[in-house]
Amino acid sequence: MIANTWDPALYDGRHAFVTHAGQALLDLLDARPDERVLDLGCGTGHHVAQLAARGARVIGVDADPTMIDAARAAHPGLDFRVGDGARFEVEVAQDAVFSNAALHWMREPDAVIARVRAALRPGGRFVAEMGGHGNIAAIIAAARDAAREVAGVTLAPAWYFPTLGEQAARLEAGGFRIHAAWWFERPTPLEGEAGMTNWLRMFGGGLWGGVPEGALAEVVTLTEQRLRNTTLHVEGRWVADYCRLRFVAVKA
C-alpha cells in the first residue's frame, strides 16, 4: 500500500490550480466580516488567509500535519488545526463550513456531513466543491490498465466521487437543505511536459494502493504513455479530466 504523501511545496507550486479554482467557490460563500468560517481540508491555508483578509474569523482544518505545519509557517497568527473530516469538533458554532477539493479524499461521507452539521449554527451554510461522478475517469482507466499490465494488480481508487443525486440525498438525510448544486466538467491544464507525471506522483496515493513500491515508477510511466494518445494530451499540453460537484447546503 502506498499512502498519499503531501509535499506542500509541490502542492503550492505546480498544483496551484487547486487554490485558483477555489476562487469561484469563495465568491459563492460570500463570507461577511466577522462571520465564523471553517475551511475543511484547508491544505496550505491560502483560502483561510483570504477569508481572514475579508474579516472573517476562520479556522483551517486538515488531516495532514505536514500541510498544517506549512499553513502555520505561511500564515502565522491564523488558526490551523490537524483534524479528520469524519471526527473533527469545534468549540464554537460556525456560520459556514467551506471545503474545496478535499471532500473526495474523505471516505466516510455520512460521518463528514454529521461533523459539518455539528460544527454549524442552525441556518449555517455548507459550501463545497469536490470531485464528482466521472472525475478523472480517463486517468483512472489508464492507471488501471498500466497497473494490471506491469504488476498484475487491480486498482481500487480510494476517492469518493458521488453523483449530484447521491450527494444531495446524503446531505438531506444528514439534516441539510440543498440551496443549489451543480455537476460540471472542468478540464484542468497541468503545467509543463511532465504535468501528467507530476500529477500522478502528487495525487497518486489515492490510486496506487496495492502496487508494490518497486513497480510504481514503471506503472506511472506506462500510465502517462497511454494517456499521450488521448484527448488529455493535445499539442504537447496536458489536461486532467476533472468533473466537479459544487453545492450550497444549509443546516435545517
Contact with ligand BEZ (CB under 6 A) among 206, 216, 227, 232: 206
Is residue 196 close enough to count as binding ligand BEZ by CB under 6 A? no
Contact with ligand BEZ (CB under 6 A) among 6, 176, 242, 247: 242
What 62-68 contacts at long range (C-beta under 8 Å, 24+ apart), as own/partner pairs, is 62/102, 63/105, 64/6, 66/6, 66/7, 66/8, 67/6, 67/8, 67/11, 67/42, 67/43
Contact positions with ligand BEZ (CB under 6 A) in 107-146: 131, 135-136
State in angstroms the smallest separation of the CB of 156 from ligand BEZ: 14
How many Å apart are CA 117 and CA 84, to the nearest integer? 15
Is residue 47 close enough to count as binding ligand BEZ by CB under 6 A? no
Residue among 104, 129, 109, 84 nearest 170 (CA) = 109
How many Å apart are CA 135 and CA 246, to the nearest integer? 13
Is residue 159 close enough to count as binding ligand BEZ by CB under 6 A? yes
Is residue 75 close enough to count as binding ligand BEZ by CB under 6 A? no
> Between the CA of residue 223 and those of 150, 196, 234, what are the distances in Å?
10, 9, 16
Strand partners, 241: 187
The smaller minimum CB distance to ligand BEZ, of residues 52 and 70, is found at: 70
Is residue 104 close enough to count as binding ligand BEZ by CB under 6 A? yes
Residue among 163, 99, 129, 140 nearest 240 (CA) = 140
Residue 49 phi/psi, 5° resolution?
A: -65, -40
The smaller minimum CB distance to ligand BEZ, of residues 203 and 247, is found at: 203
Contact with ligand BEZ (CB under 6 A) among 183, 203, 238, 247: 203
The smaller minimum CB distance to ligand BEZ, of residues 158 and 168, is found at: 158
Residue given cell 482544518 in the structure block: 61
The smaller minimum CB distance to ligand BEZ, of residues 11 and 126, is found at: 11
For binding to ligand BEZ (CB under 6 A), which residues are involved? 101, 104, 131, 135-136, 159, 203, 206, 242
